Homo-oligomer: A and B are copies of this chain.
Amino acid sequence: MYTKNKDKPDSNKPTLDYIFHPRSIAIAGASNNPASKGFDYLKALQVMNFKGPIYPINPKGGEVLGIKAYSSIKDIPGSAEYIISCVDAKAAMQLISDCRTKGTRTIHLFTAGFSETGEKKGKEVEDKLLHIARQAGIRIIGPNCLGLHHPNWGMGIGQAPFSIPGGHVSCLAQSGGHAWDLISRGSLNGIRFSKVISFGNACDLNEADYLDYFADDPDTEIISAYIEGVKHGDRFLDAIKKAASSKPLLILKGGYTAAGTRAASSHTGSLAGQSKIWDGLFRQMGVISLNNIEELIDALLPHVYFPPIKRGNIGIIALGGGVSVEAADACERNGLTVPPLPDELIARLKEFTATAGCGLKNPVDTIEIWNKENFTLTTKLVAGYNKIDILIVHAIIEMTSQWQGNSILDNIVDSLMESSRTINKPIVIVLQTYGTLKGTIEFYKVRKRLNKAGMAVFSSFSRAAAAISKFIQYYQKR
């Protein structure tokens, strides 16, 4: 797995650093009911090992998850720099009034029922809330959102054990569901997150603030975003420009179509739309633009696993003729190149590869998966060719385990573990299943092993090629 050199001096802390590093947390609406978010946030702090004091607030007092609870924020003995509000809108308002003497700097409102309702009253309550918070000098995350996920600081948007330990990918997401999905599926693909912020209606802190922060944050190397609407066009443009010029910036824009815009308005009260403007803007700024969460996760993988590279010449080793054709088509459809191997290299492969049914020109359709030494040699020879920048190796789980006992798939994986140590180029695995449950369960095990050894795993050539292509284009433009 590739990590950039940390040769920058430790600069002054970015302005909003305190928002992401609270030293004490109160949870309003903390509860022993496992179905409630007031339980989930508290449990996450415990599971993820938050170091500072935690104050559950519950009108009934007593204990929540073994920690003394207070009936009001006013009663807590220390300060609560950060409050997570799981209470209703009215109680949230009271909460902000009550915490003035508690050193509170940030309130995250899981609480919904504001401008996203599309009703006049909801907007009025949101405005009033913002007014009170401003008077109290408190910044708001949300409302109507899951808030901050920061594994290395012991904070989670819920009990998402996949995301520990943290890493260097950050995300600002206007949807809590998308944030959760990204953390869950991303982690299962070996992505480690620095900070993921779900920010909902963004009545105070908005997308531009978070973008600015991640651009400055020394722990963030890659920025991803799910954005529905923009509060202040000019500020957002400046923030995009700044972020995209310093780090890879991947944006999934929601509310792209007319119906999507209507949905975004219901969701977070956002004014989205005008897809052509977004397209042009993203292209101009060097933003990597994605259409859905699967594409976003796919596109992150090369940034996590590869060093920066500007050339997209792909060497393909595949198991089967049809799959080889599909692999080559997928690469070239996505603007990558699959250069033919030179005759002397083909001759070298022929020395130990059974010919019948095997193409060796690149894609290399080899049946030498039966023989670990031959397979390792194949990967080294193909990757060793100076016109190859990235090696894609394909395996079908059911074909290599169910048909022939487990040893063949193990052969392939063992061989890749070995060759990845000497091949100084990115290796991507397309790990195909025939969709069987048994194959899928095996997929999880094998992916984890390959990810740990620094290899990105995709489930199809189309997805791999699309992601690699976006990565190469990004570095070509820089």
User: Residues of A with Cβ closer than 8 Å to B?
Assistant: 35, 40, 89, 112-113, 116-119, 144, 173-178, 180-181, 184-185, 188, 226, 228, 254-260, 262-268, 272, 291-294, 319-333, 337-338, 340, 355-363, 365, 396, 398-399, 403-405, 432, 434-437, 440-441, 444, 460-462
With contact pairs A329-B255, A329-B256, A462-B292 given, residues A267 and B365 touching in the complex (Cβ less than 8 Å) = yes
In angstroms, Cα B177 to Cα A303, docked, is 31
Contact A264 B330 (CB under 8 A): no
Contact A322 B226 (CB under 8 A): yes
Q: What's the nearest-Cβ distance from chain B to residue A29, in Å? A: 14
Please, could you name 26 A-B residue pairs with CB atoms under 8 Å apart, sorted by A?
A113-B355, A113-B356, A118-B359, A176-B321, A177-B319, A177-B399, A178-B322, A181-B432, A184-B435, A184-B436, A228-B325, A259-B331, A262-B340, A262-B361, A263-B325, A263-B329, A265-B359, A266-B321, A267-B322, A267-B325, A267-B359, A291-B330, A292-B326, A292-B330, A293-B326, A441-B441
In angstroms, Cα B256 to Cα A174, docked, is 39
In angstroms, Cα B259 to Cα A138, docked, is 59
If A175-B320, A259-B328, A262-B361 are given as contacts, then 8 extra A-B residue pairs at C-beta distance below 8 Å, sorted by A number, are A113-B355, A257-B328, A257-B329, A259-B332, A259-B337, A259-B363, A266-B360, A292-B460
Contact A177 B263 (CB under 8 A): no
In angstroms, Cα B331 to Cα A445, docked, is 34
In angstroms, Cα B329 to Cα A365, docked, is 39
Instruction: Write the chain B residue with the least CB distance to A113.
Output: B356
Please name all residues of chain B whose beta carbon is closer than 8 Å to the beta carbon of A363 when the two chains form the complex: 259, 263, 266
Please name all residues of chain B whose beta carbon is closer than 8 Å to the beta carbon of A184 when the two chains form the complex: 398, 434-436
How many copies make up the complex?
2
Q: What's the nearest-Cβ distance from chain B to residue A255, in Å? A: 6
Please name all residues of chain B whose beta carbon is closer than 8 Å to the beta carbon of A332 when the two chains form the complex: 257-260
Instruction: Write the chain B residue with the least CB distance to A333.
Output: B257
In angstroms, Cα B257 to Cα A264, docked, is 39
Instruction: Write the chain B residue with the least CB distance to A327.
Output: B263
Q: What's the nearest-Cβ distance from chain B to residue A284, in Å? A: 22
In angstroms, Cα B360 to Cα A437, docked, is 36
Contact B321 A263 (CB under 8 A): yes
Please name all residues of chain B whose beta carbon is closer than 8 Å to the beta carbon of A175 when the two chains form the complex: 320-323, 325
Contact B462 A294 (CB under 8 A): yes
With contact pairs A266-B365, A325-B263 given, residues A356 and B112 touching in the complex (Cβ less than 8 Å) = yes
Contact B321 A267 (CB under 8 A): yes
Instruction: Write the chain B residue with the least CB distance to A187.
Output: B435
Q: What's the nearest-Cβ distance from chain B to residue A282, in Å? A: 15
Contact B462 A260 (CB under 8 A): no
Contact B113 A462 (CB under 8 A): no
Contact B116 A260 (CB under 8 A): no
Q: Which 3 A-B pairs have the closest CB atoms?
A: A175-B322, A266-B359, A267-B321
Q: What's the nearest-Cβ distance from chain B to residue A326, in Å? A: 6
Please name all residues of chain B whose beta carbon is closer than 8 Å to the beta carbon of A326 when the two chains form the complex: 178, 254, 260, 292-293
Q: What's the nearest-Cβ distance from chain B to residue A277, in Å? A: 15
Contact A180 B434 (CB under 8 A): yes
Instruction: Write the chain B residue with the least CB distance to A404.
Output: B35
In angstroms, Cα B184 to Cα A403, docked, is 14
In angstroms, Cα B325 to Cα A113, docked, is 18
In angstroms, Cα B298 to Cα A460, docked, is 14
Q: Which of B116, B188, B338, B355 contacts A259 (CB 8 A)?
A: B338
Contact A322 B176 (CB under 8 A): yes
In angstroms, Cα B462 to Cα A322, docked, is 25
Contact A434 B322 (CB under 8 A): no
Please name all residues of chain B whose beta carbon is closer than 8 Å to the beta carbon of A403 when the two chains form the complex: 35, 40
Please name all residues of chain B whose beta carbon is closer than 8 Å to the beta carbon of A267 when the two chains form the complex: 321-322, 324-325, 359, 365
Which of A180, A340, A432 lies at the interface centre, i.e. has the most chain B CB atoms within 10 A of its CB?
Answer: A180
In angstroms, Cα B360 to Cα A327, docked, is 43
Which of A180, A266, A293, A399 lies at the interface centre, i.e. has the most chain B CB atoms within 10 A of its CB?
Answer: A266
In angstroms, Cα B258 to Cα A112, docked, is 54
In angstroms, Cα B269 to Cα A398, docked, is 27
Please name all residues of chain B whose beta carbon is closer than 8 Å to the beta carbon of A181 when the two chains form the complex: 432, 434-435
Please name all residues of chain B whose beta carbon is closer than 8 Å to the beta carbon of A118 when the two chains form the complex: 359
Instruction: Write the chain B residue with the least CB distance to A179.
Output: B322
Contact B436 A188 (CB under 8 A): yes
Please name all residues of chain B whose beta carbon is closer than 8 Å to the beta carbon of A35 when the two chains form the complex: 403-405
In angstroms, Cα B321 to Cα A260, docked, is 10
Q: Which of B113, B325, B437 contacts A260 (CB 8 A)?
A: B325
Contact A263 B174 (CB under 8 A): no
